[in-house]
Structure 1
Amino acid sequence: MHTPVSTLRRLLLAAALLAGASCHADVVVIVSAKNPVKALSGEQAADLFLGKSADFPNGLHAVPIDQSEGSPVRDAFYLKTSGKAPAQMKAHWARMLFTGRGQPPVESGDNAAIKRLVADNPNLVGYIDRSALDPSVRAVLSIH
C-alpha cells in the first residue's frame, strides 16, 4: 500500500524527470533579420512573453508568438526564462485574462512555422530550437 508521502515522492520524482527532459532543449529567441534589435536579456524576453512589456528595447512594437502547447521547446523556454512550468503558465494567463491585463501570445506552430512567420515580420519575436536557425532570422538570446 502506498502512503500519501510515498505517493507524493513518486509524483515529485516524475515531475523532476519531466522537467529535466525539457531542460535539454537549446532554445534561441529570434527576430527577423530585418529587425534592428541585436540582443535581448532573459528578463526582457520573459517580459515580452508574459505580457509585462509590449515593445523591444529600441521602442519598436513587439508581438510575441508561442510554439504549440506541449512543445518541449516551449516548456524549456518558459521554464528557463521565467521559472514557470506549463501549469504555472496556464495559471498566469488565466489571471491576466481575468483581470483584463493581457492576452497570451498566439500559438503559431513548431520551429519551422515560427521561423517563417518571424522572418517575414520585423515586429514578431519567437523562440525555436537552435538547430532550426538560418539567415532569415537573428538569434537575440540563447537559452541553455
Structure 2
Amino acid sequence: MVWLRAVLVLCLLSLTGMGAKALADDDPAVLLVAHADVATQHLTRDTTRAIFAMRQRTWPDGQAARVFVLPNDHPVHARFAKERLAVYPHQLQLAWDRMVFSGTGQAPDRVRDQAEMCERIATTSGAVGYLEREYLDERIQVITMD
C-alpha cells in the first residue's frame, strides 16, 4: 500500500512538472563558485548567464570577473549550463565563437577537470566557475543563485 502511494505521488509530481527538477533546485548538484575575494554573495540567473556568455565582464560591484569552464563535452559543464543557466552548452559555445571571431570579446578560460577548476578559482582574483559539492574547499566560496 505504501509503495502504491509513493508511485502515485511520483506520477503527480511528473505531471505537474515538478519531479526531480524541483528536488535538484533545492540542493543543486553543480554549484556556482567564486574566489574568496569576490564581494558578491548572490546572483540572478540572468546575471549569471550574462557572465558565462561573456557579455558581462564584471561582478555587480565592478570587480573584473574571470570565467572558468570545463570542456563542452564534460557532463558537469552540460549540467551547469542546462540546470543553472537554462541554456545548452552549444549555445554558450556559439556565443563565445561569435565574440572571438568578430573581435568583440573572448572565450572563457577552459580547465581540464574539476580539480583544476577548484585550483584556478582559488588562486585567481575575481574568478568564477562551477563545481560539484565534493570538490569545494575552504579557499573558495559558493555564490547563491535564483
For 1:64 and 1:54, the matched residues in 2 are separated by: 9
Q: Secondary structure at the match of 1:138?
A: strand
SS at match of 1:126: strand
For 2:143, what is the secondary structure of its paired residue? strand
Residues 94-113 of structure 1 mapped to structure 2, 5 A cutoff: 94-113=97-116
SS at 1:29 equivalent: strand
| Percent identical | 24
- Give the TM-score taking structure 1 as reference length: 0.73
- Name the CA distance, whole Å, in 1 between partners of 2:64 and 2:90: 28
Q: Which residue of 2 aligns with 1:134?
A: 137
Q: Distance in 2 between matches of 1:86 and 1:60?
A: 26
User: Which residue does 1:91 correspond to in 2?
Assistant: 94
Contact 1:64 / 1:106 at 8 angstroms: preserved in 2?
Answer: yes
C-alpha distance in structure 1 between counterparts of 2:96 and 2:73, whole Å = 16
Structure 2 segments unaligned to the other structure (5+ residues): 1-20
Please give the alpha-carbon distance, in whole angstroms, between the structure 1 residues aligned to 2:85 and 2:66.
Answer: 18
What's the TM-score, normalizing by structure 2?
A: 0.72
Residues 1-144 of structure 1: pairs in structure 2 closer than 5 A: 26-141=29-144
Structure 1 residue 30, shift from structure 2 partner: 0.8
The amino acid across from 1:123 in the alignment is G
RMSD: 2.3
* Aligned 8 A contact 2:42 2:145 in 1: no
Structure 1 residues 95, 34: CA separation in 2 closer, same or farther (over 3 Å shift)? closer
Alignment size in residue pairs: 122
Maintained 8 Å contact 1:26/1:142: no
State the Cα distance separating 1:142 from its structure 2 match.
5.4
User: Distance between the aligned counterparts of 1:123 and 1:93, measured in 2?
Assistant: 20
